[in-house]
Amino acid sequence: LAKTTQPISMDSYEGQEVNITCSHNNIATNDYITWYQQFPSQGPRFIIQGYKTKVTNEVASLFIPADRKSSTLSLPRVSLSDTAVYYCLVGDFYAGNMLTFGGGTRLMVKP
């Protein structure tokens, strides 16, 4: 089971780009990297998923280096509404090991 390590908290200001890095040194060949966002009093919401290199969608980008031992979630030009907890998950869904949410990173966006 690939263990993930991410910062407990981060602060940013509106309009800035935020990069949250997750370390997963023992990632396995079949493992995917998935990021979720959770607002207070809501369930987590899928943001982005990737296997290697770079993935981009309308919300974020995910950068994965060649060795896949880490990944970086990039949020462009954050706003106050991006204040949330961000979770990095690593695993192979069919192996049943992509279901462990760590402590997450609490992002605070300030005006």
- For another protein, the binding residues (CB under 8 A) are 30-32, 34, 36, 41-46, 49, 51, 87, 92-96, 98-104
13 vs 93, beta carbon nearer another protein: 93
Distances (CA, A) of 34 to 16, 89, 93, 111: 23, 5, 11, 28
35 vs 109, beta carbon nearer another protein: 35
23 vs 100, beta carbon nearer another protein: 100
